[in-house]
A and B are shown apart, each in its own frame.
Chain A
Amino acid sequence: MPSAKQKTAIKEKSAARNASHQKFVLQSKLIDSATRIFIEVVRVGGVVLVMYYFAQAVQSLAGKNTFADIGLKILGNVRISETVAWLFGAGGVTYAYKQKKLLKRTHAQMGERIKSLEKRLDPHRTSSHLTHEGETHPEVK
């Protein structure tokens, strides 16, 4: 049986441990909140910046200020515009391609597991004959 002194020591140690744990949880939450705010500020900040220049361009069209005044000259360069448009297009195609690859991987992983689990319950389970990546089988194309 632990003495009263030992019991107090255990209690104190436990309280200190809990306090340390609580502090850790609190710090984690604070860091998490700061990160989320930072990411949103950067995301929305970029959109606001583009919108600002967009509004300036519209105002310039309305004759309130001139094209050269508002620092849009560089954006009005055909070569720069073409390059940015190409980057956007290439980025979109790359994103779609990567998403498709990821989807195939997910199909392959989930499909195999579902198949093996269902076969345990129904050994005569029939198949759709899609490929393991969920695509049309080459023979029926």
Chain B
Amino acid sequence: MNNIAGLVIAISTLLSFLGIWYLVMWLGRDYHVAGFRQNMFELRAELFDFAADGKISFDHPAYGMLRSTMNGLLQFGHRISLFNMIIVVSVMGGPPPDEKTFSMRWRKCTQELDGSIMAKFNDYRRRMNFLLVRQLLIGSPILFLLILPYGLAALGLAICRDQILKFLRRPIEFFDSAALVASEA
């Protein structure tokens, strides 16, 4: 192959690389954010329907807190990333130990709830956090590009959902608290 033909092919390869880069780093990321938001909207709608059925008051602090956190996650969904989580884990280690943290406020809000309602609300919270973790892992273009066990992550999430949520409780606590505080600001 002559020099010119090789260069034309090289330029074609570079253009394809550029296209893949745009797909992964811009379109793909936007798609994952949109998917995350759609999942969260569906969960929020389910929570609304639960309250609309009269099972809990719209004015109940647990309902307000969960909805506010979901709103915060929806609003800042584009900023959730694996890199963000790595910094949170390595630098901060979690939110401050005062009553502003999500868990402490959650305990206060839900302590008077009826057993079945509390179980349902804990399930909503668990599902909300699962969506967050899923977005952290699957929505990361860096992770995608490094081809870190992408399939394994999805499989792991499906199989060990609760264990992963438990393992990542500190960064999750951070995101929940930040979302709640931002939404209420």
Residues of A within 8 A of B (CB): 17, 20-21, 23-25, 27-28, 31-32, 34-36, 38-39, 42-43, 46-47, 50, 53-54, 57-58, 60-61, 66-67, 72-73, 75-78, 80-81, 84-85, 87-88, 91-92, 95, 98-99, 102, 105-106, 109, 113
Residues of B within 8 A of A (CB): 1, 3-4, 6-7, 9-14, 16-21, 23-28, 31, 34-35, 38, 41-42, 45, 79, 81, 83-84, 87-88, 91-92, 95-96, 98-100, 141-142, 174, 177-178, 181
- Residue pairs across A and B with Cβ atoms less than 8 A apart, 28 shown, are A20-B100, A21-B98, A21-B100, A23-B96, A24-B177, A24-B178, A25-B181, A38-B83, A39-B81, A42-B142, A43-B25, A50-B21, A53-B14, A58-B11, A67-B3, A73-B6, A76-B6, A77-B9, A78-B9, A84-B13, A88-B23, A91-B20, A91-B23, A91-B24, A102-B34, A106-B38, A109-B42, A113-B45
A98 touches B13 (CB 8 A): no
A99 touches B7 (CB 8 A): no
Set of chain A residues within 8 Å of B100, measured between Cβ atoms: 17, 20-21, 24
Set of chain B residues within 8 Å of A72, measured between Cβ atoms: 6-7, 10
Knowing A31-B87, A32-B84, A75-B9 touch, does A42 contact B25 (C-beta < 8 A)? yes
Q: A46 — nearest CB in chain B belongs to which residue? A: B21
Q: Which label, helix, strand, loop or mixed, suits the secondary structure of the A interface?
A: helix
- Which of A21, A35, A84 contacts B84 (CB under 8 A)? A35
Q: Which label, helix, strand, loop or mixed, suits the secondary structure of the B interface?
A: helix
Q: A16 — nearest CB in chain B belongs to which residue? A: B98
Docked Cα-Cα span, A124 to B83, in Å, equals 52
- Which of B4, B9, B31, B141 contacts A102 (CB under 8 A)? B31
Docked Cα-Cα span, A78 to B7, in Å, equals 11
Set of chain B residues within 8 Å of A106, measured between Cβ atoms: 38
Knowing A38-B83, A95-B23 touch, does A50 contact B14 (C-beta < 8 A)? yes
Other contacts beyond A28-B174, A109-B42: 18, CB < 8 A = A20-B96, A24-B95, A24-B177, A31-B84, A34-B87, A35-B79, A47-B21, A54-B11, A54-B14, A60-B3, A76-B6, A85-B12, A85-B13, A87-B16, A91-B19, A106-B38, A109-B41, A113-B45
